[in-house]
Amino acid sequence: MLKDVAAQIAGSAGPSNPSDLNTLDRAAAWRSLAQAGLLALRTRDDDGRPVGSGVEVAVVAEGLGAGLVPVPYLGSAVLATELLALAGAHDEAEALSEGDTRTTVLLDRDLSALAVLPGDQTVYAWDADGAADALALTAGPDGHQVVRVSLDTGFAPAAGSDLTRTLLRSDGPIDGARLTPVGSPLSAEALLRWEALALTVISADIVGVMRAAVARAVAYTKERVQYGVLIGSFQAVQHLCAEAYVQAEASASATNYAAWAVDELDVAEALLAARTAKTQAALVAREVTETVMQVFGGIGQTYEHIAHVHTRRALTDRQVLGDEGVQLVRIADVRLTGE
């Protein structure tokens, strides 16, 4: 059901070519998500449990990724909402789920972690379309405190690779007076739980992007004629598509498990599953989307064509909260040192 709703919204709000990104009604797409209840999945019910499971959130993320939908679902509805809920700031989380206001997260200079403030470093507000503010952390004696930073001052649009998501940059320093604490300090475990969900939904977005890109490329091989035959009849092209398909499906298998693990396994196992999924998805994201550009040939290299929009979104996703290199080091710590 969720899958169908996400696919329906993706169908009407996803671009067919890059110029659509200037004309799509993003606000309408956001309203549809809010009305379908999809912005509320990580708010908590009366018993304190998430309204929607990790699996449900990942299904939506994959659907919106497949449609290259230019709305900040991951930033506002998942990453920020979950952080607020874990900090016990339930009213703030509820407010986001209504869709009238948007909040995203602040990432550090290499996009690999939540920003810890105050600091004089460059930080980025990722997936910040329409967001008034962003969440970051401050380190305190009781653990990490979630803080809110207004994006009104000091932030400027960055020309990020991803054409479907807004990236804002601040070259710092962000002084302490601009930080408003939200909720209670987070336990170390809560923060790891957040990371498990965050890595999983980003992987799900990559899976959606890859599956849709491969499907587009395969469809093209059934229309495009060269040497008097459809290019899909060439074994070289078939094998390129098959390899890309295998990698996308492998990523989906790892991501599906991570999504289930978010709510079902203890935090260490959930995080290991999430890192495994992110490693796999990040590892193949570039190759799969490059393969798709290759299958489209000359037209696939042009700015006007949709192919690079997949690549751009996948490349950014690959970096956010750590690429495969970052994840592999963490996995090795668990496997080899038991940390």
Partner 1 sequence: MDYRDTPEEAEFRATLREWLTATIPAGWDKIEDEEESVRLRKDWHRTLYRAGYVGMSWPVEYGGRGLSPVYDAILNEESGNLGAPPLPSVGYIGRAIFMYASEEQKRRFLPPLLSGEASWCQGFSEPEAGSDLASLRTAARLDGDHYVVNGQKMWTSGGQYADWCLLLARTDPDVPKHKGISAFLVSMTEPGVTVRPIVIASGEAETAEVFWDDVRIPVEQRLGAPGEGWRIAMTTVAYERGPADIGFIANYRRTLRKVEGLAAERGLLEKEEVRKALARAYVRGEVLRLNCMEQLSMRVSGRAPGPEGSVAKLLWADAEQSLQHLAMDILGADEMTGVAAGWLSSYFTSRPVSVYGGSAQIQKNIIARMLDMPR
Task: Indicate the residue among 95 and 328 with the shorter CB distance to partner 1.
Answer: 328
CB 4, min distance to partner 1, A: 19
Closest distance of CB 294 from partner 1, Å: 15
Nearer to partner 1, 85 or 293 (CB): 293
The CB-of-297 to partner 1 minimum distance in angstroms stands at 16
Nearer to partner 1, 31 or 330 (CB): 330
Smaller CB separation from partner 1, 34 or 250: 250
Compute the least distance from the CB of residue 223 to partner 1, in Å.
Answer: 10
* CB 210, CB 314: distance < 8 Å: yes
Our CB check for partner 1 shows the closer of 34 and 334 to be 334
User: Least distance from C-beta 31 to partner 1, angstroms?
Assistant: 32
Report the nearest approach of partner 1 to the CB of residue 128 (Å). Answer: 31
Nearer to partner 1, 158 or 334 (CB): 334
SS (H, E, C) the chain: CHHHHHHHHHHHHCCCCCCHHHHCCHHHHHHHHHHCCHHHCCCECCCCCECCCHHHHHHHHHHHHHCCCCCCHHHHHHHHHHHHHHCCCHHHHHHHHCCCCCEEEEECCCCCCECEECECCCEEEECCCCCCEEEEEEEECCEEEEEEEECCCCCEECCCCCCCCCEEEECCCECHHHEEEEEEEECHHHHHHHHHHHHHHHHHHHHHHHHHHHHHHHHHHCCCEECCEEHHHCHHHHHHHHHHHHHHHHHHHHHHHHHHHHHHCCHHHHHHHHHHHHHHHHHHHHHHHHHHHHHCHHHHHCCCCCHHHHHHHHHHHHHCCCCHHHHHHHHHHHHHHCC
| Shortest distance, position 48 Cβ to partner 1, whole Å | 22
Residue with Cβ nearer partner 1 (141 or 338): 338
Which residues in this chain contact partner 1 in the complex, by CB under 8 A? 218, 221-222, 229-230, 232-233, 235, 237-239, 241-243, 245-246, 249-251, 253-254, 256-257, 260-261, 264, 276, 279-280, 283, 325, 327-329, 331-332, 335-337
Bridge partners (DSSP) of residue 133 are: 103, 150
